[in-house]
Structure 1
């Protein structure tokens, strides 16, 4: 059962990462490309990492990382051949690598939230006794 949840975490991150990447790069989401603007759309990559970390039983950081790293080549190939590329390959690669960072950060945020909830529960049980 543990191995099953390990692969569910990787596959869910792969699928969600690809979906977020392709939706953002296809232009269906209102991402503005004006001068001196940050890429706030990268924050959406926290969700695949958070969800994959939740679905994984162990190695909650490794599953989002592996899922995102497996999705990057597929996303870049689809972006290059089927969608109109707006930037050079190296700019797209830099965007994808930063998206992997945000995805793993989502997994870390899940672990932080989980640790805080467990600490709060232990504190409330200790306070009642």
Structure 2
């Protein structure tokens, strides 16, 4: 069962990362299409990391990070070879995707932080009840 949860975390992050990336590129989430000007749309990459971390049983930061890293070549391939709009250079797109990986890992850490805080509050509440 733990092996299944490992792949579930990686696959969910891979899939959600690609969906957010393609949504950003197609201006579905309010992205600018081809130009990147410090958009707040990068914050949407927190969602795949958060969800993948919640779905993973162990290594809650590593599995979302692996899913995001596996998605990087796929995103770059889709953008440069199958996208019809001319965009930024390869290096600008690589920097954009790597910063998206950072935000995805931050989402995983946020999920872990919330989990630890909830556990500590639960322990505090149980100790006060006794």
Please classify the TM superposition score into its range, dividing by the shorter chain length.
Answer: over 0.9
Checking the alignment, whether the CA contact within 8 Å between 2:30 and 2:41 is kept in structure 1 is no
Is the Cα contact below 8 Å between 2:5 and 2:55 reproduced in 1? yes
Query: For the aligned residues, what is the CA RMSD?
Result: 1.6
Is the aligned partner of 1:53 residue 2:53? yes
What is the TM-score of this pair, normalised by structure 1?
0.94
> Which residue is equivalent to 1:128?
129
Partner residue, 1:79: 79
Shift of 1:31: 2.2
CA contact (8 A) 2:16 2:48 kept: yes
TM alignment of 1:1-129, pairs within 5 A = 1-32=1-32, 37-83=37-83, 84-129=85-130
The question of whether the paired residues in 2 share the 8 Å contact of 1:79 and 1:85 is answered with no
Give TM-score, length-normalised by structure 2: 0.93
Distance 1:37 1:96 in 2: 14
Supply the distance in 2 between the matched residues of 1:32 and 1:18 (Cα, whole angstroms). 17
Tell me how far apart the structure 2 counterparts of residues 51 and 36 of structure 1 sit (CA, whole Å). 25
Does structure 2 conserve the Cα–Cα contact (< 8 Å) formed by 1:8 and 1:55? yes
**d(CA) in 1 for partners of 2:86, 2:101:** 20
Q: Number of aligned residue pairs: give it.
A: 128
- CA apart distance, 1:26: 1.9
Is there any run of 5+ residues in structure 2 with no aligned partner, and where? none
| Maintained 8 Å contact 2:25/2:32 | no
